[in-house]
Structure 1
């Protein structure tokens, strides 16, 4: 299976960004979509209709995923519906799913806000013949046919844990600023980090708290300030969420705090905070290309709809110029398709990426 790291995809990412541009039609609420009519699939169009449901409106990472998804679908001649629920909750997503079922879409790709709470709605969608996959954050195996994963859970956990170890010098207090307490992707990465910490190598590190900013800028800001207040000896905050890391970076840099930051962030939002001196709050961070997560999810949806794959382990398909991918078994008993390894953003390369995504 051919994998391409982010550095090779610079041109692809730039092209994807330009392709979707300001002409992209998307939904910042839970009741409308990228089309102007209530019925997504019309008899006269004959086009397949592919929907993407993000975690919530106002999330730049999700917006980039949706851009990549829409670019691929429209280039393939399909119709794309982009849904950004008003809140990062399962209830908001259930309402969107039910609306999409009524519209008779061909596929739904969703970044789940809760692993189990979407099951009834997604099972209803699949029973209606709609192909269901997840991206970024998965629903349980009974609720999906497959999952487009950014990178392997253990790989992300190890990458973040190694960053914490490096920045702290291998000892001292550190904290995690996560998204919501139900976010399946963040929870999986955090569990992996906790498991890795059992190794003697990390015995001098103390994880003092896992705080939740609910992927809201203000709450993430408040949680960062609370961590600084509660733990005067804190050395590092790890934020495995793009909203959280951006909020924390601003707090730490504005307050000229000695606490350092790492995690998963968008280079366009984090460029001003990345540096290897005391004036910058984040020595380095990681991420994958969210545009490519969306693109791979779109290719997966197309392959499910046209019957190239069923979502079973061993299925193979070609994702356009991204290359060949294989459906593999996931740790939760379902299946997944892995985009690739996390990419390190640091002072030496952040300028190359800040205008890409």
Structure 2
């Protein structure tokens, strides 16, 4: 396996060259600022054996359009920067044990870096730490494992901020009263749980809003549809469903419209425009919150490649180019955020993901 700190060797070579030629050459240009440090394919380095850096992607659910878009972004970054995506894999339904197996396989295959979005932020910790100990650069994206030794996380919007935005949307759309149900992907996700907690914190200030249930579907679309259908039967006066995973809003909207409740019950939360546009048009989903998963995948791969090249981690305001854009890195953290987008009838058809 190639060492990730090849930059140390390059630095030594640079010192030797400088010693040979002295100070007669022109002074070097100043180093770029974080906002200018996006690397191009021409500038990229490779491993000690001259081969492209090998990167694996492990997601919590294969077949989900959200992660497919993210993977396409990662592949774009790798192509531009001269790296190679050797694997894009994950379980067919959320299963952290399968994710663990996939990560261990990538370690054995000699991956230089692994990008991980996990179904369980705690259970994955020993395996991420094992990869780091083996010399693999592990970056999380979308769903973090903050207590692991992972190097950095690229995600979208602070989980508390996005959850707060969903809670405020519930208040606005319901007029501050009525029964609502909360929906999530998996209860083992630290990020999703933070969003749920933030929604509940907002609604706690509105005593006329009653949270009647919180359901986890493990990011299974059909399971979520069934859960919403049952909740509509159990709570005939329910006014809204709010989901913190991209599966939730379109699944809830489908169940609402199948029950003939269009105009009576709404669906809100985190969702893909491509999966939700028809429901936004019908008014069943008045608005959505999301980000571009392709940009997230791009920035995660670019961050990993930069680290492999020179040992650097993303900085606040760092620019990953025309596609990747700038990220926000709060001081003292190893988490970078890409901006969120509010989708309504006015703009949802402007996006392809």
The alignment's TM-score, normalised by the length of structure 2, stands at: 0.81
Task: Give me the whole-angstrom Cα distance separating, in 1, the residues matched to 2:349 and 2:317.
Answer: 36
- In structure 1, the partner of 2:70 is 65
- Partner SS for 1:73: helix
Task: Report how far residue 132 of structure 1 moved.
Answer: 0.8
Q: Structure 1 residues 98 and 329, CA, compared in 2 at 3 Å: closer, same or farther?
A: farther
What pairs with 1:288-327 in structure 2 (closer than 5 Å)? 288-310=291-313, 317-321=318-322, 322-325=324-327, 327=329
Q: 1:47 maps to which residue?
A: 52
Within 1, Cα distance between the matches of 2:257 and 2:299? 35
Give runs of aligned pairs for residues 1-357 of structure 1, distance below 5 A.
46-80=51-85, 81-198=87-204, 200=205, 202-257=206-261, 258-275=264-281, 279-310=282-313, 317-321=318-322, 322-325=324-327, 327-328=329-330, 335-340=334-339, 342-353=340-351, 356-357=352-353
For the residues of structure 2 that align with 1:76 and 1:210, how far apart are their CA atoms? 43
CA contact (8 A) 2:122 2:188 kept: no
Q: Distance in 2 between matches of 1:296 and 1:116?
A: 24
Q: Which has the larger radius of gyration?
A: 2
Report the CA distance between 1:316 and its aligned residue: 7.0
Following superposition, the deviation at residue 113 of structure 1 comes to 0.9
Q: Tell me how far apart the structure 2 counterparts of residues 337 and 207 of structure 1 sit (CA, whole Å).
A: 32
C-alpha displacement at 1:335, in angstroms? 2.1
- Of 182-191 and 62-71, the range deviating more from structure 2: 182-191
**1:276-295: CA deviations, max 9, x gaps?**
xxx54111111111111111
1:131 shift after superposition: 0.7
Q: Is the 8 A contact 1:303 1:317 kept in 2?
A: no
Structure 1 residues 147-169: Cα deviation after superposition (integer angstroms, max 9, x where no partner): 11200122202210111001111
Q: What's the TM-score once normalised by structure 1's chain length?
A: 0.80
Distance 1:325 1:197 in 2: 30
RMSD: 2.2
Cα distance change of structure 1 residues 306 and 316 upon mapping to structure 2, 3 Å threshold? farther
Change (3 A) 1:102 1:329: farther
SS at match of 1:147: strand
Shift of 1:297: 0.8
Aligned pair in 2 of structure 1 residues 120, 329: CA closer, same or farther (>3 Å)?
A: farther
Query: C-alpha distance in 1, partners of 2:350/2:329?
Result: 32
Shift in CA distance, 155/87, structure 1 to aligned 2, threshold 3 Å: same
List alignment gaps of at least 5 residues for structure 1: 3-40
Contact 1:329 1:336 in 2 (8 A): no
Question: How many angstroms apart in 1 are the aligned matches of 2:143 and 2:298?
Answer: 15
How far residue 116 of structure 1 moved from its aligned partner, in angstroms, is 1.0
Question: Would the alpha carbon gap of residues 126 and 44 (structure 1) be closer, same or farther in structure 2, given more than 3 Å must change?
Answer: closer
- In 1, Cα distance between equivalents of 2:252 and 2:153: 29
Q: Distance in 1 between matches of 2:163 and 2:328?
A: 22
CA contact (8 A) 1:118 1:143 kept: no
Once the two structures are TM-superposed, the CA of residue 103 in structure 1 deviates from its matched residue by 0.8
User: Separation in 2 of the partners of 1:121 and 1:60?
Assistant: 26
1:290-349 C-alpha deviation (Å, 9 max, x unpaired): 1111111111111221234247xx67744122344464357xxx6200112x21111122
